[in-house]
Each structure stands twice: as structure tokens, then as C-alpha cells.
Amino acid sequence: MRLIGWAIALAAAGLTPAAAAQSNAAAPAQSAPTAAAPAATTATPPAGTAQEPNKPDAAQPAIVPGSVGHMIPTAGVGEPDGRKGVQLQVTPIGKEAASFHNDWLLPLCAAISILVLVLMLIAIIRFRRGANPTPSRNSHNTTIEVIWTLVPVLVLVAIAIPSIRLLRHQYSPPPADLTVKVTGHQWYWSYELPDYGVSFDSYILKEANDPTRQANQRARTDNDGPPLLAVDNRLVIPQGKVVKFIITADDVIHSFAMPAFWIKQDANPGQLHETWAKVDRAGVYFGQCSELCGARHGFMPIAIEVVPQAQFAQWVGQNGGHMPGSKPAAAPATASANATPAAAQPTGATPATQPATNQAATAQN
């Protein structure tokens, strides 16, 4: 009895802080402005208002539509276009998954639905009271019972085999050619290519008539992409290469989703998640944060541009980075629009540290 008493006391003590925390959490919610204020002050840059607060427009070179990093999107590719079903898939996994969905699951679902509908119609019409006044008193039929047990089992096996095969392909990626670290923030994404010395932030491009757009912020044009999906700095990756994405977050849970690559991976603070893509088709692809992450969750799109290897090298150079094995860029002054001051700094660091970084990068490749 004494033991039980202690157990209850301990449990109560354990529960109390949780209950207190809950009531604390509930309290600020009643006064919305108080709750919003700390969030606004902790978010740097200020919640969704600045694209590159440290860099005035005047310092950015003019954007040439169609150049690397500014490829003009193709309608209906890598963006929603009102079609039913999944987007055009551009990775091997995406193609396998879309084919599994379109050519196997959908026909199977349709066949089962039609079968059930026909059986229901037969039961309703043929066995209605008017047509069948004295109902059968049979309570079971062994043949039918065997059929209605075996057929669903076979249907499940027919779904499970390709489904498990797809999962196996998805979770056994080929060796990576390139690693990209993706970090979700409230409310923007940042990207880092550690082996190339490139890192930058990527913000939504606001509409020209958006009252929250600051005077020095570039407005979206159709060359950038659809509204709510276009970003100021796109991630550029090489065509036909295996890209490993290491995904995390620095505040709350986000989700890195790129429908045309068949990627959707949670970005959790304090955890590294991994996914991959091998994109064979050059182009611009758009995705969105897919985990409700706060007030501007709907305003942190993802844009990935897939380009041939030579253009990728050009983009790396423009952003103050260097191809593994080659000499790093001379000075941050050569960094283009995409390079943030944070990205430019390591390149401008003392030359003594550079060869070591370079060797490490080469060794990893």
C-alpha cells in the first residue's frame, strides 16, 4: 500500500510541471499581441519582411532572364498547372512512384469500387421485397466465404509487392555526387553546399502590389515563377547527378517538399533527415514547406533549378564558391546576387585556411 502511495505521489509530481506548462502555454494565447511579440523579435531577419536585409538592391547586379540561377520556368513542368493527379515526375523514384499510382493503384481502386457497386445494385434490384417476397434463409456458403477471404488477401499482396519495392529503391540511394544541407527557418529556407563553399538564404518574391514589400525588395515577375512559389535565390543543382539533401530546421518543424522529385521530408530542429534526387531533366521546379510552421508557413516556397554540369560550375563560381579540387574564388567582391555575406566570408578568409578546406572537400569526393 505504502509503495502504491509513493507511486501515486511521484506520478502526481511528474504530472504537475506538464500541467503547469500547459496552462502557461494556454495563457499567452489569450492575449495574442503578447504572444506574437517575442516571436517577431527572435526571428532574424524580421518575420518574412526582408529578403536580403543586409544587401540593398543597388549592390545586386541586374538579373538576366534565362541565365543560370534565373532560368525561365516551363509552364506545366515543376509547378501546379491545374491537372488532376501527380505532377510530371523528373526523378527515377518519382517516375516509379507515379507509375505505381497511375497504372496500378488507381485501376485497382476503380475495379474494386465498380465490383462493389455492381454487387450492391444486384442486391438492391434483384433481392428487393417486390421481386423476392420470400427471402432465402441460408446463413453461410463455404465457396463464397473462401472467395471473399482470399481475394482481398491477394489484392493486398498485389499492392504490397510493388510498394515495398518502391520503398527499397527510395531508401537505398546510389552514392551521392553532391550534398546539399537544407535548413528551414520561420519563414525562409537556407541552403549550404559544404563541399563547394556556397551558402545562401532563399526568400519568397513578393508581388509588386504587396503592401508589405519593402522598397529595396525585388518584386516577382513571371520569369521568376508562379505567385507564392517564386524565390529570390534558387538552389541550383547539376542535371543527372545524385544529390543528397540533408534536411534540418532551426526553430520549429518544417517540411521540405518538392512534388516533381517525389520528395517530402520533415525538417526537425536538432535532427538531420536525409533524402535524395537524381534529376535528368533540366528546368525549374517549385515546392513548398509542407508542415504547418507558423504565421507565414504558406510563404516559404522552394525553387530548385536543374542545369547541366558546366552551368552548375558557373553558378558555384558566381556565388563565391569553388568546385572541389579547384582553387577557391579570389575575393568576396566577385560574389553575385545569390551570395549572402555569410557565404562570401569563408571565401575571403585567410588563404592559409583554404587549401585545407579544399583537400577535405576533394577527399570527400
- Smallest distance, Cu ion to C-beta of residue 10, A: 39
Segment interacting with Cu ion (CB under 5 A) among 65-73, 133-141, 249-257, 356-364: 249-257
Q: Does 206 bind Cu ion (CB under 5 A)?
A: no
Segment interacting with Cu ion (CB under 5 A) among 4-12, 102-110, 291-299, 357-365: 291-299
Q: Helices 142-170 & 92-99, crossing angle to 10 degrees?
A: 170
**Distance, first Cα to last Cα, the chain:** 65
Q: Does 284 bind Cu ion (CB under 5 A)?
A: no
Using the minimum distance from each CB to Cu ion, give the nearer residue, 253 or 323.
253
Using the minimum distance from each CB to Cu ion, give the nearer residue, 77 or 253.
253
Count residues binding Cu ion (CB under 5 A). 3
Q: Does 293 bind Cu ion (CB under 5 A)?
A: yes
In 3D space, the residue among 216, 298, 304, 219 whose CA is nearest the CA of residue 258 turns out to be 304
- Smallest distance, Cu ion to C-beta of residue 338, A: 21
Using the minimum distance from each CB to Cu ion, give the nearer residue, 178 or 293.
293
Segment interacting with Cu ion (CB under 5 A) among 47-55, 227-235, 287-295, 350-358: 287-295
The answer for residues whose C-beta is within 8 angstroms of residue 92's C-beta and 6 or more apart is: 169, 278, 280
Cell numbers 545524385: residue: 242
Q: Which of 254, 307, 316, 357 binds Cu ion (CB under 5 A)?
A: 254
> Nearest 5°: phi and psi at 233?
-120, 110
> Nearest 5°: phi and psi at 81?
-135, 20
- Smallest distance, Cu ion to C-beta of residue 255, A: 7
- Within 38-57, which residues bind Cu ion (CB under 5 A)? none
- Smallest distance, Cu ion to C-beta of residue 191, A: 15
> Exposure string (b/e) for 222-237, b if CB count within 10 Å is 16 or more?
eebbeebbbbbbbbbb
Segment interacting with Cu ion (CB under 5 A) among 57-65, 101-109, 289-297, 349-357: 289-297
State the CB neighbour count (10 A cutoff) for residue 266: 17
Using the minimum distance from each CB to Cu ion, give the nearer residue, 220 or 254.
254
For 152-214, the three-class secondary structure string (H helix, E strand, C coil) is: HHHHHHHHHHHHHHHHHHHCCCCCCCEEEEEEEECCEEEEEECCCCEEEEECECCCCCCCCCC
Using the minimum distance from each CB to Cu ion, give the nearer residue, 254 or 322.
254
- Smallest distance, Cu ion to C-beta of residue 297, A: 5
Q: Does 176 bind Cu ion (CB under 5 A)?
A: no
In 3D space, the residue among 276, 284, 361 whose CA is nearest the CA of residue 87 turns out to be 284
- Smallest distance, Cu ion to C-beta of residue 227, A: 18
Q: What is the DSSP letter of 339?
A: -
Answer for the pair 91, 277: CB distance below 8 angstroms, yes or no.
yes
Using the minimum distance from each CB to Cu ion, give the nearer residue, 243 or 249.
249
Answer for the pair 302, 257: CB distance below 8 angstroms, yes or no.
yes
Using the minimum distance from each CB to Cu ion, give the nearer residue, 189 or 200.
189
> Nearest 5°: phi and psi at 183?
-125, 130
- Smallest distance, Cu ion to C-beta of residue 42, A: 16
Using the minimum distance from each CB to Cu ion, give the nearer residue, 260 or 289.
289
Cell numbers 505505381: residue: 100
Using the minimum distance from each CB to Cu ion, give the nearer residue, 197 or 301.
301
Using the minimum distance from each CB to Cu ion, give the nearer residue, 186 or 340.
186
Q: Does 289 bind Cu ion (CB under 5 A)?
A: yes
Segment interacting with Cu ion (CB under 5 A) among 64-72, 154-162, 253-261, 332-340: 253-261
If you write DSSP's letter for every residue of 41-86 in order, what string do you get? HHSSSSTTT-SSTTS-GGGSPPP-TTSTT-PPPPTTSSS--S-SSS
Segment interacting with Cu ion (CB under 5 A) among 236-244, 279-287, 292-300, 306-314: 292-300
Which 3 state secondary structure label does DSSP give 116?
Answer: helix
Binding site residues, Cu ion, CB under 5 A: 254, 289, 293
